Structure formats: structure tokens, C-alpha cells
A and B are shown apart, each in its own frame.
Chain A
Amino acid sequence: MKSSRFVLIFMLGASLFGLGQNPSYQLDPEWRAPAPAIARSNPLTDKPDTAAGGKKLFVRHCVECHGNDGAGLMKKHSADFHLAIVQEQSDGTLFWKITNGNAGKGMPSFSKLPDLQRWQLVLFIRTLKAAGSASADPEK
């Protein structure tokens, strides 16, 4: 009985890891921010406490495709924010990508959010780098 429960938990965990996350995420070479956008700096960098608002926005707008922990979903081909190829991008690039989206690949534009809220999202995405496996799950 115990062994069957262990197998079940193992299979569930393996399937969640294998299908739920997207560690094989690759950047879309066509989705590149222009130079002026790349150079923009985050006006909230010196206000790290505003990342809490970014976490709330992340839960509202991003977890559907990027997962609670921001690790991406393989079935959605969405970015794993923990990966170096994402975190190495400048704040301005991430802001530009959130603003414009990548419609051809299913990423909607979030220009409907005010500028500062998009910068809050960038700030929160940076905390995923620092925390490694930080979760945006409001219960955690």
C-alpha cells in the first residue's frame, strides 16, 4: 500500500516537473528589444519594497502561462524566469517584452498596465533570480 502510494507520488511529481516547467526554454531570436529600450533602467530599483506589488501583479497576469514559480510551462512554450538567458537580459529589455508581447508566440501585450506596474513586474522577476525557486503562490 505504502509502495503504491510512493509510486503514485513519484509519478505525479515527475510529470509535474517534466511537463510543468520549461527548463529547455530558448529565446526567440526575432523578439528583440531596440537599443533605446534595452538601455532603459528600472525607476523602482531603489524601492525594492515595491516588488511585493510586482508579485501580486505576477499572480494576476503571469502565472497562467509562466506558472506559480515562474519556471514556465512547457505546453505554453513560456519562459522560465530562473534561467540565465532570461535573467541576463536588461531591465529595459524585460520591460519592453512585457509591454509589447510576442503575439506570434502567444505572449500578449501588457501595455494596458501602467508603466510603473510593468516595472514592478520586472522588479519581481529579478527576485526569482535571487531566490532561486521563489514562488509567486499567494499561499506561500
Chain B
Amino acid sequence: MNLVVICATQLQLDMRRIAFQLAVIIASATTICSAQESPFFVTYTHHMEEPGNLEVETTTTTGIPRSGQRFYTAPYLELEYGVTAQWTSELYLESSSVWGDSTVFTGWRFENRYKPFNREHWINPVLYLEYESVNEASRIQKEIEGGGPDLTSSNRELRGEHAHELESKLILSSDFRDWNISENFIATKNLSESEGVEFGYAFGVSRPLATLASGENCRLCRENFIAGVEMYGGLGSTLGFSPHGSAHYIAPVVSWAIGDNSSLRFSTGFGLTDQSNPVLIRFGYSYELAGFGSKVSRLFGGKR
């Protein structure tokens, strides 16, 4: 019995030590690293997270309703880790708050992106696979597939409908004369329902406002801003492939590297169909922890 108590106490102490060391790693991870983010919220490019770096991002999607829709804001937390130079993993935790209704946790997602070629080409493909465990109250709209989210029902009605989804994307992306041009083709299968495979798309074009870096550490230099535009929407499903009857948006986007490790992104999307919100506002803040993987590895006695 005493041995069990001693072991439990030791385990508790070890857990406390690890938690403390993790906190120290995060607090001390001030190594300067690239914070220049792609300005897109929906469209993926072929640029991967740098190996060993962890990016923590908080983002909100806010929908301005048209008649019959509800005002909502859907915050989510994103943890992006560069496993290797060709493989990036991300974990999302998301929620939704509907005006006059409620705030609910809507689920989690785990995605992986893999870049098969290790050289730059005219068109760079990236393969994307995501597992989603979300309910139908999810409104973050990281992508739109099928007919888009239900923007009229309440959280109470939607949160009970749980979905296990497998989502794949083909990401094609090119860098041409300082412009990035990216196209994403989306196919999602809801494993909980027999609703066929749903499709969606996202396209984006972006460019830094200045291509030469100044020698000064300035915050408002043009080189710290990337502007662009993205368009995304649903394409129906195998039961009816069509862009009609789905949400579509066109959204000017901008990112600002406010520091060596952190950046802000902003987008105002304009709904193009009756199934869309008239305006969809997105705002994101990200902070990058350089060398996070090797620091955690050392914590557990690794040599990496």
C-alpha cells in the first residue's frame, strides 16, 4: 500500500516537473524566427511549417447575418507543428457562439499535410488529410464543402448532430515573380451519415507589398505586409455536383508580421449567394515557437 502511495506521489511530482518545464520552454522560446504568414484563412499554399517549429494561432470567424440568419462568432485555436520539412501536422479546437443563443464547444480536427517533392516546381502539389470530430454547430468555415454550414438553426438544435469526417485536399501552389497562386480542391466524407462525398474549392493570390528587406527593424515597413484575395465555396456532393445552392465567398486578405515571432491576419469576405453570410470577418493572431520540438525532446531525454 505504501509503495503505491510513494509511486503515486512520485508520479505526481514528475508530472508537475514536466508541466513546469514545458511552461518554461514556452516562456523561454523567444528565439527569433520567421513570422511572415500566408494571409489566407482558407486557401493552403505549398509552404510548410519549418521543422521543429510550433505555431500557435487563435482565429475568429464572425458572420454578419442576412434575414433569417443568426449573428455568430466562431473562435478556434490552431497548433501547427513542422514534423519535417515536408510534413506539417495541425490540431484545431473550435467553438461557436451564436447571438441570443449559446456558446458551445464544437469539436476538434487533426490534419496532416505532406509535400511529396523536395524541390520547387512550377506547380507544387501538397497532399492533405484531416480527421474531424465536430458537431453541426461548427461555424469556423476553415473550408466550405457541400452546401456550406447551417446558418439558420440554433446551437441547441445543431450540437446534438455529431459528425466524424474525413477530409482530403489536393493543394496546388506556385510562386511566380513574388506572387503566390494557390488552388485547393476539397473532398469530404462524413463517416456518420450516408450523404455521399461533398466537394469544395479555394483559390488564392497574394504578394508582399515590398520585395526588398530594409536594414531596419521596423514594424510598419511595407515588407511586413502581404496582401491578396481568396475565393472559396462548396460544390455540392456526389448526390448532386453543382456550385448552386452553396455558400461562396470572395475575400480580400492581409497579413502583417508585427514582430519577429508574431503576426496578424485579417479578412473581410463577401458572400456571393443566398446561402452565404453577406459579410464574413476573420481575424487571426499567431505566435511561432522556434525549435519547440528539440526543446521538448530534450525535456524527455532525447538528443534531437
Residues on A close to B: CB < 8 A?
49-50, 52-57, 59-61, 63-64, 75, 99-104, 106-109, 111-117, 120, 138
Contact = CB atoms under 8 A, between A and B. Distances in A.
A53 B175 CA distance: 22
A60 B120 contact: no
Interface in B260-304: 260, 290-291, 294, 303-304
B33 A61 contact: yes
Contacts of B178: 114-115
Nearest to B36: A112
B85 A109 contact: yes
A58 B189 CA distance: 43
8 contacts: A56-B213, A56-B216, A64-B31, A104-B85, A108-B85, A114-B178, A114-B208, A120-B213
Contact of B119 (A49, A54, A100, A116): A100
Interface residues of B, number: 41
Given A60-B260, A64-B33, A115 B213 contact: no
Given A64-B52, A114-B208, 5 more contacts: A56-B215, A64-B50, A100-B118, A103-B84, A103-B86
Contacts of A120: 212-213
B32 A60 contact: yes
Contacts, number: 93
Main secondary structure of the interface of A (DSSP, over half): helix
Interface of B: 31-36, 38, 45, 47-48, 50-53, 82, 84-86, 115, 118-120, 175, 177-178, 180, 208, 211-217, 223, 260, 290-291, 294, 303-304
Q: Which 10 A-B pairs have the closest CB atoms?
A: A52-B215, A53-B213, A103-B118, A114-B211, A103-B85, A114-B178, A112-B47, A108-B85, A116-B211, A103-B86
